[in-house]
Structure formats: C-alpha cells, structure tokens
C-alpha cells in the first residue's frame, strides 16, 4: 500500500513519539495486564494463538504468554518492543515481537484464535476501519476479539488517551463496526484505573468481546439486548465502577 508523503511523515512522527514515551526506566503503563483482559481469562485456552495489537511494552502479551498462549506482539515502537522482550525474559515466557506500522501490517487470513486490542486508539477513523477489518481477516472462524477503549466522554476526565474525539469509541460505533460478528459482551462504564503513569484515574471506558462468525455468509446481528451490571465476570472488579452492560454476559 502506497501512502501519501504527509501520511508517511505523520506515522513516523507518531512512532518517534511512542519511542520517546517508552524510553524510561519504568513501564509507562505498568507491567500488569489490563484489568478487563484479565477478567476474560476464562475464555482463553492453553495453546491458542494470540495477536496482541499495539502491545507497547508488552504487559498484555506477556500475560497471555504466561497463560500458555502462543503470542505475537506487534507494535511500531522499537523501544516498547525491547521492553516487552525484557519483561517476557523476566517472566520466563516466550513472546514473538514484530516491529510494524499497523497502517501497513499484513493481516494474515485465519491465523489467530484471539486478537487483543487494548486502548488501540492512535488510529483516525480511516485507519481504524482498516484495522477492524484486519481483526476479522486474521481471526479464525469462531475466534475472539477482546477489546477495551476510551469512550468520547474520556475527554472530560483527561486521565489518558488521545485528545481527539474522532479516535475514541462509542457503543454505536462498535455495534456498527462489528455488526457481522457475534457480540458476546459490550459494556460502557466509568471506572478508576491504575495502569502505570500512562493510565491513571477515573476513566470513561467501553469493553467488547466479539466472536467472528463461523460462516460469514450468515451474519449475526450485533447487540440486541439490555443487560445489567451483574453481567460482568466475577474477576473484574474495577474500582469506582459504574455503567451499563449493553449486551451479553462477562461470564457467558
């Protein structure tokens, strides 16, 4: 794919920005997994092949590897990936790291059982649409997407994430984007998160677990039921949590 010079320059600036942010003694987002991802451990099985998208310093990819998954961690920051490999070494697990610009990433068809996309919100709408399509391409039929991101209301909290509303999520956006998936779980909530210096404080979040349809010719409607907060999986107990489950169960 050929990009316009301005787009290429913008991507290089972003890559350098992340290298600069990760170039510190500690881990910008900590070394523990994202709380929502950890709450979904019951969906994971030893031997699954997982793709950790924009995995940064590797906290989520390493956690997946600790659970016995075969993990590919992809990111545009060489500094972040070096720290991811160091963390994997310290934890005694194998982690395959790939340095790549996701705007040019080749999504290999039906390769992964799980795709994890936690706070992947650097992407403007056009690139986000391509990435979401890439998630579908690279997952095997029946494969899972586990995703958490900031909602547009995050602009009021200013405790992490991009300052541009176009990069943030809404429930309607995710429902439309994954209309041909089976949405297992979708919830909006405001919660206090503590993920290193990078994500700290009350935050406007949205959680998604979606399953790629076994037969793409038979699209499955997206969110269609109203749940309750009790639908959240028992291990997930974010502090200060309030919100609504739009569909599914965290422990279905």
Q: For residue range 79-122, what is the model confidence (pLDDT) as tens digits?
A: 999 999 999 999 999 999 999 999 999 999 999 999 999 999 98
Q: Where are the domains of the chain?
A: 18-212
* pLDDT greater than 60 at residue 220: no
Question: Of 173 and 215, which is predicted with more confidence?
Answer: 173
Three-state SS letters, the chain = CCCCHHHHHHHHHHHHHHHHHHCCCCCCCCCCCCHHHHHCHHHCCCCCEEEEECCCCCHHHHHHHHCCCEEEEEECCHHHHHHHHHHHHHHCCCCEEEECCCCCCCCCCCCEEEEEEECCCCCCHHHHHHHHHHHHHHEEEEEEEEEEEEECCHHHHCCCCCCCHHHCECHHHHHHHCCCEEEEEEEEEEEEEEECCCEEEEEEEEEEEEEECCCCCCCCCCCCCCCCHHHCCCCCCCEEEEEEEEEECCCC
So what's the architecture of 18-212 in CATH?
Answer: 3-Layer(aba) Sandwich (3.40)
Question: Whole-prediction pTM value?
Answer: 0.84
Ranking 68-77, 90-99, 242-251 by mean pLDDT, the lowest is 242-251
Q: What is the pLDDT of residue 242?
A: 57
Say what percent of the chain tops pLDDT 90.
Answer: 72
């Amino acid at each position: 794919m050929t990009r316009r010079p301005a787009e290429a320059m913008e991507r290089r600036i972003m890559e350098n920005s992340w290298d600069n942010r990760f170039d510190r003694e500690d881990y910008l987002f900590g070394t523990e997994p994202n709380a929502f991802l950890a709450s979904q451990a019951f969906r994971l099985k030893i031997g699954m092949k997982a793709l950790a998208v924009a995995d940064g310093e590797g906290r989520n990819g390493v956690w997946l590897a600790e659970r016995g998954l075969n993990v590919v961690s992809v990111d545009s920051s060489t500094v972040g990936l070096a720290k991811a490999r160091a963390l994997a070494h310290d934890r005694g697990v194998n982690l395959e790291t790939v340095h790549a610009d996701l705007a040019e990433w080749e999504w290999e068809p039906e390769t992964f059982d799980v795709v994890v996309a936690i706070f992947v919100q650097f992407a403007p709408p056009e690139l986000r649409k391509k990435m979401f399509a890439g998630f579908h391409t690279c997952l095997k039929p029946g494969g899972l997407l586990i995703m958490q991101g900031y909602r547009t209301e995050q602009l009021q909290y200013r405790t992490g994430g991009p300052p541009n509303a176009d990069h943030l999520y809404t429930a309607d956006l995710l429902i439309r984007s994954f209309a041909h998936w089976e949405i297992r779980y979708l919830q909006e909530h405001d919660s206090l998160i503590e993920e290193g210096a990078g994500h700290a404080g009350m935050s406007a979040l949205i959680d998604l677990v979606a399953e790629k349809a076994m037969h793409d010719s038979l699209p499955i409607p997206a969110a269609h039921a109203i749940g309750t907060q009790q639908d959240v999986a028992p291990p997930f107990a974010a502090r200060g949590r309030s919100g609504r489950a739009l569909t599914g169960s965290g422990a279905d």
